[in-house]
Structure 1
Amino acid sequence: MPRGERKRMMLQVRALRRRVASSLAEMTTANAFRKRLINIGHLMVGNFGAGVIAFFAVAIAARGLGVEKFGVLALVSTFIQAIERFVSFQTWQPIIRFGAGLKEQGRHDDLNAVVKFGFLLDLAAAITGFAIAAGLALFGAERFGWPSEVRNSLLLYSGALLFLITGSPTGVMRLAGRFREIAYFQVIAMTVRCALCAIALAAGAGLFVYVAIWAGTHVLGAILLMATGFRQLGRIGCADFMKSSLNDMSQRFPKIWRFAALANLSLSIRSSAQQLDTLIVGALAGAGGAGLYHIAKRIAKFAQQAGQQVQAVVFPDIARMWARGDIDSFQKDVARTEGLLLLMCGLGAGATFLLADPVISLFAGDKYADAGDMLKVQIIAVAALLAGSVARAALLCMGKELTVFWLSVASTAIFFTTAVYFIPRAGAIGGNYAHAIAGVFIVAALWIAYKAALRSIPSPGFRPGAPSAGLDDGF
């Protein structure tokens, strides 16, 4: 065979091999994406079911307590949830961010250390949250003129914070791929809440009983998650994680403390808008306005949680892709998931605009009819948060947590500025306007930052290397 012909054949064989390898990689990515869709489906069904059942519980409580008392319940639950968010380190994020690559590499000692690191942060956050909430209830009641009923309700609900060690078991379950269980825990908790609310309504119970129901079912959901999460430790090779050493964590996992601290600060800042908004509405528009506002937010919350859960499904996979330097698959997965999120946003917003008024009037009563308009505005903010969730996850994988933090600061500042302007002029719905404006800003800013981060990748052969590696942060 002539030398030139042989060379052409070798080139053709190499080209064929590249095409086959590319096709296999595409099939693997497609299969992984289909599996992810199944996991997202479980989370969506569970989240939707929990949201519907929770709405019935809220509607029953609203009927049983009336506008003013229900507003107090909303303020108490918001107060406790705000403290929970402020002290939480979102430890599932560092567990996945640093642990996804370790699990693939079989580095079980290091993975054990990361899980222990997350668990101890969870434990410290739970104790700190309880101390803050109980202290404010005991010593702030007189200073702020809270009645004894409110003080006792806060003390009762603050005890729930001791059980909310949920970040590390959530991270373990996500590394183990156990999304189905996560999806349906809240369905169980909300079903119990709804049943107990129906009993309380029939018995003519007062505010304290409904607070006990809210706190108890909050604890129930956390216990189910913890029990199942810690049973999965053996599946990822972390059955003896408490025996691992945390020495030299900063050297073994560069920037892990910064990542955990920024996860806490970012959540605290975002939550100040998501939790303190009801308190601001209560201060500027009264407890009745806070009750209406809470109903609109509670209905929209299931869509917001859906965005968080989509991020939770995507995060482990794209973290692994980034850790092994598979930038092409990383970008494709982010783009595919964003397309899915945009479809969900469109369908959800359309359904809300059509059904908000009749659903609220039917289940909560005509006295809560104004919550329909609030819900229509709030769904715009929720859709924006949902659309930005995958870009947030991608930036965290790329080591751009400081960028995410500063964008959260800017978005929250926009929310508070616009809320203080709109609520005195438009009433409780002004809080929804502020959320919508801040939401549109954050989704645009996250995607601009993500595209900029992609452009800053040094070369086509760039490999982040270790799980803790990433691009230099621009801030």
Structure 2
Amino acid sequence: MKRLWQNIGWLLTGRGFNAVMSLVYLALATRTLGLEGFGYFAIIVALGQAVTGLANFQTWQFVVRWGANGDGPAPATGFAIALDMLSVFVGTIAAAILVWTAPLWLPLPQDLLWLTFGYCVVSLLSIRTTPIGLLRLHFEFKKATAAEAVQPLIRAVGAVLAWQFMPTVTGFILAWAASEVCVAIALWWVAARHEKIDLSHISLRTIPRKHRDAWRFVMSTNLTGSLNIAAKQVMILLVGSLGGEELAGGFRVASQLGQALVQLAQTVSKAIYPELVHAKEEAMLMARRMANIALIGGVLAVLVAIFGGRWGLEIIAGDEFSGFYWAMVILAIAGAVELVGASLESLLVSAGKAHTAFIVRAVPTLLALVLLDTAIDWNGAKGAAFAVLGSSSLAVIGFYVAIINMQQIRITVSPDEPLPETPPETPPKAKQN
């Protein structure tokens, strides 16, 4: 628990720095581009991150899982890099198709399509979950935090340069693309200094040959990660498709401010997962403690959103975005729910139940996406926010139920006292004539 709190402390330090920098570039982007221009910006960023997230495998979990279980970092890293290369190939094809068809379903002007495709490709080439996994495998959260701080710093500097010299959607997208490239280089450099990257181990066969459940774990974690992307980036894309670029821009601002807790939940999940893998006997107790602490933090954050959210929206984004206050509050509540569920989801994945976590997350997420059109027609951005809240609540309830069932199965299969031996069956009596 001491090491866990140290790791969370480093991650929260990085998250705090990211939050401060995000206020800088969010304020510059919203005030410079306005509601419509920021809507285009939000759609392009969401499309790039959605393509990358859907194509990307959660390779950091593979490095931690198999690197810590006797295989060593080299084979696990080689497998992860091979999956990253596959992600870039598949993602580029998907990006080309989505951008080519974008005018049919997204409110994007023709002159921004090539910019959108370029941002998608840069995001794919900047996939960095493998070096993050190497650093977390050795509990080097301090180094990972320092390297990841490059991204918000470059974004903030780039936003200032765009505001000064290129105050357009293109200028801010270039700043975001530069930050993706720089943080990927920083993480690979730090990871390579700590652990030698042996390219001869790049293979899609070595790990699956040793572990029969490897591909099932890969697909389960990939689909779970894809659902997390769908819950955020695809949601923004659909809001833009159904409600227009202005609604997408406002929803993006409300989501970034209100769902800061979701990022905090991801931070807790990233810190606790390696600990749960290494400390299997105390995993349940550790997850329970983190959930209780998260509940307190979530309640406090929701109160801050209720009493200070409107002022924050007006100060950061301007009066034009103040109408999205209630959407931000609802999304803050959804973030608090996700914060409580972060340790529960990590517990399921660390126990080899990634497929269960995926199913529990998939059903409410797909339900929210299906009902999104109705929700927007009912109450605009607030309706979309309620769809997110409902999805998060059902998922966390599902995680809790799955863990309870998992405990009952363990008690049934492994009782405290040995089961009495079953007496041999008595042969049936011969039939009498």
Task: Give the TM-score of the pair, scaled to structure 1.
Answer: 0.82
Structure 1 residue corresponding to 2:373, chosen from 420, 431, 435: 420
User: 1:202 and 1:265, CA in 2 relative to 1: closer, same or farther beyond 3 A?
Assistant: same
2-structure distance, mates of 1:245, 1:85? 22
- Structural mapping, 1:16-165, within 5 Å: 33-102=1-70, 107-108=71-72, 111-137=73-99, 139-140=100-101, 146-165=108-127
Residues 346-385 of structure 1 deviation map (CA, whole Å, 9 limit, x = unaligned): 2222222221110110121111102222111001111111
Q: CA RMSD in A?
A: 2.1
2-structure distance, mates of 1:112, 1:204? 44
Does the 8 Å contact 1:361/1:369 carry over to 2?
Answer: yes
Q: Match of 2:161, as an amino acid?
A: I
Q: What SS does the aligned partner of 1:422 have?
A: helix
- The answer to whether structure 1 residue 180 and structure 2 residue 135 are counterparts is no
1:48 shift after superposition = 2.2
Q: What is the aligned length?
A: 414
Does the 8 Å contact 2:52/2:124 carry over to 1?
Answer: no
1-structure distance, mates of 2:347, 2:69? 15
Q: Percent identical across equivalent pairs?
A: 24
Does the 8 Å contact 1:334/1:394 carry over to 2?
Answer: yes
- The answer to whether structure 1 residue 290 and structure 2 residue 251 are counterparts is no
2-structure distance, mates of 1:73, 1:135? 20
1:141 shift after superposition = 5.2
Per the alignment, residue 270 of structure 2 pairs with 312
1:98 shift after superposition = 2.6
Structure 2 residue corresponding to 1:459, chosen from 397, 414, 425: 414
2-structure distance, mates of 1:397, 1:344? 24
User: 1:291 and 1:254, CA in 2 relative to 1: closer, same or farther beyond 3 A?
Assistant: same
Residues 133-185 of structure 1 deviation map (CA, whole Å, 9 limit, x = unaligned): 23433x33565685332212212212313432312111111011111232243
1:430 shift after superposition = 1.3
2-structure distance, mates of 1:165, 1:291? 25
1-structure distance, mates of 2:376, 2:102? 26
Per the alignment, residue 439 of structure 1 pairs with 392
Q: Match of 2:151, as an amino acid?
A: A
Q: Match of 1:140, as an amino acid?
A: T
2-structure distance, mates of 1:441, 1:303? 17
Q: Match of 1:387, as an amino acid?
A: V
Does the 8 Å contact 1:353/1:376 carry over to 2?
Answer: yes
- Structural mapping, 1:151-300, within 5 Å: 151-203=113-165, 205-234=167-196, 239-240=197-198, 242-243=200-201, 247=205, 249-300=207-258
Residues 366-413 of structure 1 deviation map (CA, whole Å, 9 limit, x = unaligned): 111022221110011111112111111111122212211111221212
Task: Give the TM-score of the pair, scaled to structure 2.
Answer: 0.90
Residues 254-288 of structure 1 deviation map (CA, whole Å, 9 limit, x = unaligned): 20111001111222233222111112211222211
Does the 8 Å contact 1:57/1:193 carry over to 2?
Answer: yes
Q: What SS does the aligned partner of 1:177 have?
A: coil
Per the alignment, residue 352 of structure 2 pairs with 399
- The answer to whether structure 1 residue 346 and structure 2 residue 314 are counterparts is no
1:131 shift after superposition = 3.1
1:247 shift after superposition = 4.7
Return 5+ residue gaps in structure 1 as ranges. Answer: 1-32, 463-475
Does the 8 Å contact 1:250/1:257 carry over to 2?
Answer: yes
User: 1:204 and 1:122, CA in 2 relative to 1: closer, same or farther beyond 3 A?
Assistant: closer
User: 1:460 and 1:313, CA in 2 relative to 1: closer, same or farther beyond 3 A?
Assistant: farther
Q: Match of 1:201, as an amino acid?
A: W
User: 1:420 and 1:199, CA in 2 relative to 1: closer, same or farther beyond 3 A?
Assistant: same
Per the alignment, residue 362 of structure 1 pairs with 315
Q: Match of 2:86, as an amino acid?
A: A
Question: Which consecutive aligned stretches of 4+ in structure 1 deviate over 6 angstroms post-superposition?
Answer: none
Structure 2 residue corresponding to 1:379, chosen from 320, 329, 332: 332
Does the 8 Å contact 1:47/1:186 carry over to 2?
Answer: no
Does the 8 Å contact 2:63/2:80 carry over to 1?
Answer: yes
2-structure distance, mates of 1:245, 1:290? 41
Return 5+ residue gaps in structure 2 as ranges. Answer: 418-433
Moved more, 383-392 or 144-153: 144-153
